[in-house]
């Protein structure tokens, strides 16, 4: 079993106007096989948490620690974090012109495994993962995220998660911009990965609707860069009914 | 009409240094086989202002040269070669030189090498001609390629070694013919290469002109297209990779002088290292008689390190409104850190990620080249450029 431990994490975002503090002391422990939902209104710092974990250069950790099975994640470069088993499904996946999905996925798999995947298994696994996500086969020869619809981009993120088998996956608003069918397909992909690999999931979302498909074990509510309430799945149900108003009022 | 879309997220848009005000119409420039018609350039001329003219004096001198290129290669059946005189070449209908270096090359070349394909002939496979430098002595060259009506041929000229070479290449594309001409500059670091490539494209004929400039100290190539009748198609592709101290300059000029023709120009370049320099000038003239034509020019430059400079200047002169389309796009920008982050977040190490992005940047051009015979060479050379990169 693996554990991702976030302790008193403070993060600033670098803007043209200087560094702006966003996270003000986040504590969280995520184990294999667990699914934690991070919920909060816009601007609460959810995506900052995701990018800081992945090591985006725009986000600066000013204090606190993140460890994966005791290893200091914050000391690792972006690619080392991925090799250590962290995966970030991005809210806004980046277009990479001229680099095909096939080439990209194979390069990533090779980097993470330390050797090129066996061609036969790889082709078979990729094909079945694509079928499961109802992705058109011609998708493989398209350039990464170029001209993809919002739904295709999100499916592509989950496809990568399934192919790369991380220990922990951070899903940053994977539900945003998806219609009901796409949401179900993407959620099934996440659940397949959970069944297949014991991946621990940090599910970042504004809304509760994705939690109908991906059941969280724990729910954390973030307001203004701090966790203000934690609980089980019932907390999500309460948020569904009440929204974030009571937290926002308390935080004023 | 102007597309400045930005698929790479390039953050600068450059139309070159300063506002572009051509001194006169593009076709007002001198064209002649007489050296005396061209004063020695000073560097202030529109066509020379981006070039390191001080270092090019030898190429402007109206004097014989003593060097030679070593030329080899098996010609496929249907493609013939002979040596002819300049006057015989002129009778084939070649275009006149348009600058001092080209007119000197035409007059001082010891002979004209004439490659020809008779009418109604499809030449199988690409002809790969190796034209290798043999040293520091100046070389003047004149090559004519004439392709008969409804014939098809692909000719690749691969330049390697050490040379100081000035050439005129004249292409005469017959009616309905389909010609691909590739000039590969894989020169040694100290080599210099000035060239004017002229094409006259026949009725409903198709020309694909490709330049790939990777090696050399100074490479300056002008590709000019004119049409001898209606309905011609010209596709001009360019790929260049300038390293520290290299000057790679490419100019294209499409003279739309006939109706229903098309032209499509796509040049992409990467630059890295101190004083890596590229210049791209894309001129298009749409004359009053060029009814219904369609033209597009695109130049993109990817600056990989500090200290490199790319100039990119598209010029469009439109003398008739009755056309199908005319547009251009030009951008020069830095490597996009978001691309790097995305690839690295999937475990891809930084050097591999950078190589993927640069390869991806070039793919748009590479996919259009479609000359299988040079794919391996091209891939190896680009890999080589990337592996030597100071990224």
Position A1 pLDDT exceeds 80? yes
Helix (H) or strand (E) holding B356: helix B350-369
CB contacts of B353 in chain A (<8 Å) are 79
Tell me the sheet residues that pair with B317: B285
Look up residue A159 and give its two tokens: 């496809």
Name the minimum distance, in Å, from the CA of A152 to any CA of chain B.
Answer: 16
Residue A64's closest CA among A56, A51, A53? A53
Look up residue B235 and give its two tokens: 């596709």
Name the minimum distance, in Å, from the CA of B367 to any CA of chain A.
Answer: 10
Report d(CA A80, CA A68) in Å as an integer. 12
Per the CB < 8 Å rule, is A143 touching B338? no
Look up residue A127 and give its two tokens: 């094909």
Q: CB-based contact (8 Å) between B352 and chain A?
A: yes
Exposure of B136 in the CB half-sphere (CA atoms within 13 A): 1
CB atoms within 10 A of CB B279: 24
Q: CB-based contact (8 Å) between B71 and chain A?
A: no
Which residue from A90, A96, A112 is facing B357, i.e. has the nearest CB?
A: A96
Residue A54's closest CA among A30, A26, A82? A82
Report the residue of chain A nearest B338, measured CA to CA: A94
Which residue from A57, A82, A98 is facing B364, i.e. has the nearest CB?
A: A98
Per the CB < 8 Å rule, is A108 touching B360? no
Report the residue of chain A nearest B367, measured CA to CA: A98
Per the CB < 8 Å rule, is A57 touching B337? yes
Report d(CA B386, CA B141) in Å as an integer. 32
Report the residue of chain A nearest B342, measured CA to CA: A94
Count of all residues that appear for chain A in the document: 252
Tell me the sheet residues that pair with B165: B139, B193
CB contacts of A57 in chain B (<8 Å) are 337, 341
Per the CB < 8 Å rule, is A96 touching B341? no
pLDDT digits (tens, 9 = 90+) for A124-160: 999 999 999 999 889 999 999 999 999 999 999 999 9
Give the residue carrying structure tokens 């951008």: B331
Report the residue of chain B nearest A57, measured CA to CA: B341
Q: Residue A210: what pLDDT?
A: 94
Alpha carbon of A77 to those of A30, A80, B2, B24, B347: distances in Å?
Answer: 21, 5, 41, 55, 10
Report the residue of chain A nearest B6, measured CA to CA: A97
Per the CB < 8 Å rule, is A111 touching B356? no
Contact residues, chain A to chain B, C-beta under 8 Å: 54-57, 77-79, 81-83, 87-88, 90, 93-99, 103-104, 107-108, 111-112, 143-144, 146, 160, 164
Which residue from A93, A98, A164 is facing B363, i.e. has the nearest CB?
A: A98
CB contacts of B5 in chain A (<8 Å) are none
Q: Residue B383: what pLDDT?
A: 85
Q: Residue B391: what pLDDT?
A: 52
Report d(CA A37, CA A35) in Å as an integer. 7
Q: Best mutation site among B6, B346, B357 for testing chain A: the one with the most A CBs within 10 Å?
A: B346
Report d(CA A45, CA A25) in Å as an integer. 11
Which residue from A54, A56, A111 is facing B349, i.e. has the nearest CB?
A: A111
H/E/C letters for each residue in B300-352?
EEEECCCCCEEEEEEEEEECCCCCCEEEEEEEEEECCHHHHHHHHCCCCCHHH
CB contacts of A108 in chain B (<8 Å) are 343, 346-348
CB atoms within 10 A of CB B369: 17
Name the minimum distance, in Å, from the CA of A64 to any CA of chain B.
Answer: 21
Q: Residue B20: what pLDDT?
A: 46
Asked if B254 contacts B291 with a C-beta cutoff of 8 angstroms, the reply is: no
B109 torsion bin: left (phi>0), alpha (psi -120 to 50), beta (else):
beta
Q: What contacts A73, CB < 8 A, 6 or more positions away?
A: A4, A53, A66, A67, A81, A84, A86
pLDDT digits (tens, 9 = 90+) for A151-168: 999 999 999 999 999 999
CB contacts of B364 in chain A (<8 Å) are 97-98
Q: What contacts B145, CB < 8 A, 6 or more positions away?
A: B114, B115, B116, B155, B169, B170, B171, B172, B179, B181
Q: Residue B229: what pLDDT?
A: 96
Position A243 pLDDT exceeds 90? no
Give burial (CB, 10 Å; 0-12/13-18/19+) of B191: buried
Report d(CA B355, CA B360) in Å as an integer. 8
Q: CB-based contact (8 Å) between B240 and chain A?
A: no
pLDDT digits (tens, 9 = 90+) for A179-231: 999 999 999 999 999 999 999 999 999 989 999 999 999 999 999 999 999 99
CB contacts of A54 in chain B (<8 Å) are 341, 345
Q: Which residues of chain B have pLDDT under 70?
A: 1-24, 389-391
Q: How many Å is the maximal CA-CA distance in chain A?
A: 58
Give the residue carrying structure tokens 């922990």: A168
């Amino acid at each position: 079993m693996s554990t991702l431990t976030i302790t008193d994490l403070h993060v600033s975002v670098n803007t043209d106007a200087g560094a702006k503090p966003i996270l003000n002391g986040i504590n969280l422990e995520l184990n294999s096989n667990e699914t934690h939902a991070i919920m909060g209104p816009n601007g609460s710092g959810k995506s900052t948490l995701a990018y800081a974990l992945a090591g985006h250069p725009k986000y600066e950790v000013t204090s606190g620690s993140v460890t994966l099975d005791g290893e200091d994640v914050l000391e690792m470069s972006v690619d080392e974090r991925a090799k250590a088993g962290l995966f970030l499904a991005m809210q806004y996946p980046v277009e990479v012109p001229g680099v095909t999905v096939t080439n990209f996925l194979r390069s990533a798999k090779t980097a993470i495994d330390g050797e090129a995947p066996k061609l036969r298994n790889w082709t078979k696994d990729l094909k079945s993962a694509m079928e499961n996500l109802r992705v058109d086969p011609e998708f493989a020869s398209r350039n990464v995220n170029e001209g993809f619809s919002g739904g295709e981009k999100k499916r592509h993120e989950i496809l990568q998660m399934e192919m790369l088998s991380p220990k922990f996956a951070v899903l940053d608003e994977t539900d945003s911009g998806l219609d009901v069918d796409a949401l179900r397909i993407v959620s099934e992909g996440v659940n397949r990965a959970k069944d297949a690999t014991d991946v621990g999931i940090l599910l970042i979302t504004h809304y509760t609707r994705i939690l109908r498909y991906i059941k969280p074990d724990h729910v954390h509510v973030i307001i203004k860069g701090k966790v203000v309430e934690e609980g089980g799945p019932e907390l999500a149900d309460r948020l569904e009914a009440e929204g974030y108003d009571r937290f926002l009022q308390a935080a004023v | 009409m102007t597309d400045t879309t930005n698929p790479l997220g390039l953050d600068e848009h450059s139309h070159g240094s300063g506002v572009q005000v051509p001194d006169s119409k593009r076709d007002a420039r001198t064209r002649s086989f007489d050296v005396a018609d061209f004063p020695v350039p000073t560097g202030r001329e529109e066509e020379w202002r981006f070039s390191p003219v001080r270092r090019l004096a030898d190429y402007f001198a109206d004097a014989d040269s003593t060097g030679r290129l070593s030329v080899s290669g098996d010609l496929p059946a249907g493609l013939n070669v002979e040596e002819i005189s300049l006057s015989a070449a002129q009778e084939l209908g070649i275009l006149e030189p348009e600058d001092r270096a080209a007119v000197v090359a035409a007059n001082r070349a010891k002979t004209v090498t004439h490659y020809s394909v008779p009418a109604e002939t499809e030449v199988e496979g690409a002809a790969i001609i190796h034209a290798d430098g043999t040293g520091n002595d100046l070389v003047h060259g004149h090559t004519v390629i004439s392709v008969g009506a409804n014939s098809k041929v692909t000719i690749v000229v691969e330049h390697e070694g050490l040379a100081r070479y000035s050439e005129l290449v004249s292409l005469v594309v017959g009616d309905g013919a389909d010609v691909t001409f590739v000039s590969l500059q894989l020169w040694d670091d100290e080599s210099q290469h000035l060239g004017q490539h002229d094409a006259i494209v026949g009725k409903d004929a198709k020309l694909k002109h490709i330049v790939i400039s990777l090696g050399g100290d100074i490479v300056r190539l002008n590709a000019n297209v004119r049409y001898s009748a209606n309905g011609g198609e010209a596709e001009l592709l360019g790929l260049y990779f300038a390293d520290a101290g290299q000057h790679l300059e490419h100019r294209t000029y499409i003279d739309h002088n006939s109706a229903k023709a098309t032209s499509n120009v796509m040049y992409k370049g990467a630059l890295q290292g101190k004083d890596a320099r590229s210049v791209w000038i894309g001129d298009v003239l749409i004359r009053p008689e060029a009814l219904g034509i369609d033209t597009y020019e695109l130049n993109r430059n990817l600056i990989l390190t500090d200290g490199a400079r790319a100039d990119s200047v598209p010029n469009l002169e439109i003398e008739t409104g009755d056309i199908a389309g005319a547009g251009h796009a030009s951008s020069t920008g830095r490597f996009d850190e978001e691309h790097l982050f995305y690839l690295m977040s999937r475990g891809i190490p930084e050097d591999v990620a950078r190589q993927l992005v640069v390869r991806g940047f070039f793919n748009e051009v590479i996919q259009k080249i479609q000359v299988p015979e040079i794919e391996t060479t091209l891939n190896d050379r680009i890999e080589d450029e990337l592996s030597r990169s100071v990224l």
